[in-house]
Structure 1
Amino acid sequence: MAVVELSRLQFALTAMYHFLFVPLTLGLSFILVIMESVYVMTNRPVWRDITRFWSKLFGINFVLGVATGLTMEFEFGTNWSYFSHYVGDIFGAPLAIEGLMAFFLEATFVGLMFFGWDRLTKRQHLFTTFMVALGSNLSALWILVANGWMQHPTGAEFNPQTMRMEVTDFMAVLFNPVAQAKFVHTVSAGYVTASVFVLGVSAWYLLRNRHVGLAKRSFAVAAAFGLASSLSAVVLGDESGYALTENQQMKLASIEGAWETEPSPAGLAIFGIPSNEGRKTEYEVKIPYVLGLIATRSLDGKVMGITPLVERADNRIRNGLPAYRALETLKKNPDDLAAREVFEKHKYDLGYALLLKRFVEDPLQATDADISNAAWSTVPNVPVLFWLFRIMAGLGFAFIAFFAFATWISTARRFDKTWFLRLAVFAIPLPWLAAEVGWVVAEYGRQPWAIEGVLPTFLGASSLTVSQIWTTIIGFTLLYGTLAVIEIRLMIGTIRKGPEPYTPQRAGSDASADPNSSATITSVPAE
């Protein structure tokens, strides 16, 4: 288990570090599309200069995101080799499509976006910027299809002849309801992240009375885009909650600290002190009916509690043991029709029987106590999920109020609200906090499963030593720490420098002669 836990720690560190760059890439790419669209429609060079400035920050973030994302795919083979063998037929397909289609699409047009200002027409360049945004979001789609399948493994079955999971319906994998809900919620969170970033940097310029024209225009775009994105993030988060009701009931119950099934419709806990040891939640404060309405879309739908879900897991473990016994027989004699019949009858509970391997070497020798321990191991860390979810949700609703006020400021031209400008600067890290917390809830909440109901996490790890994993953890920490310093210094340096005058290479003229260019953007009146 030390190897398993360290492998989980290593993957968590690399994944969460990589996800520092993903949300900003997703959101900033579409903000660039909006800004450049205004330039194409109005033909005002100031919008071209604004687009070029923010695209520099996008480029820095994009490069670091690519560099940190590459290592994660190798980790499936190095640290999670049995996981890769067991489900690689399904899990590898979306990752391959992401690399072959979305990544190359995005990377190709990124070059055109940065170096095509003097070689493409305005509309052609806008098209390349849009394709960069589309490629970024397609990358997220295929990654989340793979991740969504881990949360809800549909469209695949275990093949006793190959001892692997194999695709039976790729369209079911692609249109997995959990994956679709995760995708729209994740990209909305990315749009919020980019909006807060642009708003915060713009507020910093306004506080220092620098690049006022860029700051006000960028502030207005980020406020409107952020308001729409924050509203959609909350609404689509509700859709993700509905998907949990159908497919991940233990995660939902743990998030709510609900140990027993309540009469319908269940109330939503806004405060409580849950305990895994005591198996109860004390000092609960609930809003009546809200959880039932959100989770079931009805007044009579039930939200199952943790204890009855553990009892269900106990039954599934017992029902999975005949499948495990039949599988052992099929390993020796693949033509045993009786064993094949038993396996087909109980195969959907095989993963639950595999949970026993954490407590006994041979699941067929498990006692009632072993089965009970295995059933209770399906309960994640309830206090962690309970509070992290409320941090994420609280920040989500706070962003709505934040962007609503920012929208009022931009429409009313009240950029003199210095208290809000300072708040906008200090708020820059908050969407990253919400995004990271959300990923912890999503991934930690499905433990002990690597593949929900199919493969326990502790069975997916490679045969490594503790010292080997510690070596790579230390190496990644040093490397990523260096990259973090580089990222922050480049970002801060670019922001402090501000927009640069644009000189078209074909004309060879000085852009400073244009009163709307970035050379004079600091003197744009405070209209």
Structure 2
Amino acid sequence: MVDMAVIELSRLQFALTALYHFLFVPLTLGLSFMLVIMESIYVMTDRPVWRVVTRFWGKLFAINFVLGVATGITMEFEFGTNWSYFSHYVGDIFGAPLAIEGLMAFFLEATFVGMMFFGWDRLSKRQHLFTTFMVALGSNLSALWILVANGWMQHPTGSHFNPDTMRMEVTDFGAVIFNPVAQAKFVHTVSAGYVCASVFVLGVSSYYILRGKWVAVAKRSFTVAAAFGLASALSVVVLGDESGYTLTDNQRMKLASLEAMWHTEPAPAGIALFGIPSMEGRKTLYEVKVPYVLGLISTRSLTGQVAGIDELVVKAETRIESGIKAYDAVERLKVNRGDMAARAVFEEHKLDLGYAMLLKRFMPDPRKATPADIEKAAWTTVPNVPVMFWLFRAMAGLGFFFIAFFGAAFWMATIRRFGCANGFCRLFMRAAVWIIPLPWMAIEAGWVLAEIGRQPWAIDGVLPTFLGASSLTVPQIWTTIIGFTALYGTLAVIEVRLMLAAIAHGPIEDRASGGTHSQPAHPAYAAVPAE
């Protein structure tokens, strides 16, 4: 029998390290391309103030970049230490995108990041802009390959189970790369990172304007962040809609759960704005719905139907019964590789083998399952509906809020109303400082939503999570959780102190650095007009 305490603690440890790592990734993704925009303006206009703008935000990018790399490396080791059977079972597929990420994207970043930080006075302006662009490209390519791997976990296309090796193997690597779930997750995730960086830049710039410090730099940064953030916020919502569309074909249980749709509704289904779903009663106690919207988003039609949880559980029961036949065939092939009858049965039912594995949570041999056992296992395919329901609404609500927020910022930047002493503009800039944490909250909620929605699967429909863990003990896992928490807590304090110190120091260039375009730390410089 599976020790679920070990499984849940292993999940907790990986979740903690992943959530911590993901505090740095979005800001890195967004700041990298904002630096490209700022430096491009400097190259085109040859105005020294834009050099100061770029170097200041580059300093904050560097602090964040280092912590992101350090915490990301730890996670890759956890696949071997905490999820050894997962690594063995799907390593041929899952490991390939991660290897490409290291060889292509990470090495690209590592090659150019030093040139970007230390090459200001050694490279021409266009050469340095090229290095900045390559760092941004490398950062975003890293996200692409990591999300290709994660997208395959959500929708394992281009692969099959080989009964001779007892492992999953690649059959079409192109299908793995161009997995629709992976592509939708990539564009949605990087857009969220752009929003995160835009809110950060806008908040810090607003702080400077309110304090009357480095106003010329702050106004220009505010303008770039407002325009970049508005475009990014719009893309997050649009691409989130595309992600919902991919769920209809590939992850129907996740879609039904985040809408707390227990029963299949006549097409087109409505979307719930508010509700109180209950796992115990398997129903929603109260809800407010808008007709037709969910059907239009999910199926792009008025006739497409969105399956409910109850119907999907019945389908899961059917797949478990089919999977038991595949499991029995695999066991026979272990004894006799030449058993052609067993191989024929396996080929007929192989797509459902993972569903039979769900029974291993309750018994050693799935072939001995009763109808009651099959029904019990089928209901484990339903994730935590109340958590899914509310996380999605919190994330979506923040997404629409950011559109309005950046719309107001873009209006302010367009009419140059930065310095109004009272009224809306000053209130907005104060709010901009306080809402800096909100995009991180939305992004972390989105990650939790995606991963909880995939449960009970490590690989959707292929490998249950409880079968992927290493043979560890509870004390061993608690020791590493405490150790990681202490280490990451220390790193978090260092990160925040460094970022706050850099912001407090401000966009001041050091004359002693030898730069030919250094700007003096003179009060008059802060008064240079933004126009």
In 2, Cα distance between the equivalents of 1:231 and 1:264? 28
Q: Which residue of 2 aligns with 1:498?
A: 506
Which of 503, 510, 526 does residue 522 from structure 1 map onto? Answer: 526
Structure 2 unmatched runs, 5+: none
Give the aligned partner of residue 438 of structure 1: 446
Instruction: Quickly say closer, same or farther: Cα 1:518–1:271, change in 2 above 3 A.
Output: farther
Alpha-carbon distance in 2 for matches of 1:26, 1:341: 49
The Cα shift of 1:282 comes to 1.9
- 8 Å contact from structure 1 (residues 57, 494) kept in 2: yes
**Structure 1 partner of 2:72:** 69
Inter-partner Cα distance in structure 2 for 1:147 and 1:90? 11
State whether structure 2 residue 230 is matched by structure 1 residue 222. Answer: no
Q: Distance in 2 between matches of 1:58 and 1:100?
A: 22
- Counterpart for residue 420 of structure 1: 428
Query: Structure 1 residue 143 and structure 2 residue 146: aligned?
Result: yes
Compared CA separation, residues 492 and 296, structure 1 to 2 (3 A): same
Q: d(CA) in 1 for partners of 2:257 and 2:217?
A: 46
* 1:135 Cα deviation after fit: 0.2
Whether the 8 Å CA contact 1:110–1:128 is kept in 2: the answer is yes
Separation (CA, whole Å) in 2 of partners of 1:103 and 1:509: 32
How does 1:272-283 map onto structure 2 within 5 Å? 272-283=275-286
Change beyond 3 A, Cα 1:137–1:510: closer
- Percent identity, aligned pairs only, is 76
Q: CA deviation at 1:501?
A: 2.5
Offset of residue 520 of structure 1 = 4.9
Amino acid at match of 1:38: I
Q: State the match for 1:410 in structure 2.
A: 413
Counterparts of 2:513 and 2:445 in 1: how far apart (Å)? Answer: 46
How far residue 420 of structure 1 moved from its aligned partner, in angstroms, is: 0.3
CA contact (8 A) 2:325 2:349 kept: yes
Q: Check whether the contact 1:499–1:518 (CA below 8 A) recurs between aligned residues.
A: no
Give the SS at the match of 2:337: coil
Please tell me the residue identity of whatever aligns with 1:525.
Answer: P
Pairwise CA distance, 1:108: 1.0
Amino acid at match of 2:34: I
Deviation at 1:107? 1.3
- The 1-side partners of 2:96 and 2:522 are apart by 46
Choose from 489, 493, 506 the match for 1:485.
493
Contact 2:359/2:366 (CA < 8 Å) preserved in 1?
A: yes
Q: What letter matches 2:518 in structure 1? A: A
1:251 aligns with 2:254: yes
Moved over 2 A (4+): 501-506, 508-513, 517-521
Say which SS state the counterpart of residue 511 (structure 1) adopts. Answer: coil
- 1:525 deviation in Å? 3.1
Rounded Cα–Cα distance in structure 2 between residues aligned with 1:130 and 1:383: 43
Q: Does 1:45 align with 2:48?
A: yes
Aligned: 1:57 with 2:60: yes
Structure-1 residue corresponding to 2:463: 455
Report the Cα distance in structure 1 between the residues aligned to 2:102 and 2:453, rounded to whole angstroms. Answer: 28
- Under a length normalisation based on structure 1, what TM-score does the superposition of the two structures give? 0.98
In the aligned structure 2, how far is the partner of 1:320 from the partner of 1:480?
42
Alpha-carbon distance in 2 for matches of 1:438, 1:188: 13
Pick from 26, 30, 33: which aligns with 2:29? Answer: 26
Q: Following superposition of structure 1 onto structure 2, how do residues 307-346 of structure 1 map, counting pairs within 5 Å?
A: 307-346=310-349
Query: Mean alpha-carbon deviation: is it higher for 275-284 or for 248-257?
Result: 275-284
Q: Is the 8 A contact 1:502 1:518 kept in 2?
A: no
Aligned length: 523
Aligned residue type for 1:346: H
For structure 1, the 5+ residue unaligned runs are none
Residues of 1 paired with 2:240 and 2:59: CA distance?
31
- Which residue is equivalent to 1:117? 120
2:48–2:517 contact (8 Å) kept in structure 1: no
The alignment's C-alpha RMSD in Å is 1.2
Residues 48 and 519 of structure 1: CA distance in aligned 2, closer, same or farther (over 3 Å): farther
Three-state SS of the structure 2 residue aligned to 1:219 is: helix
Matched, 1:286 2:289: yes
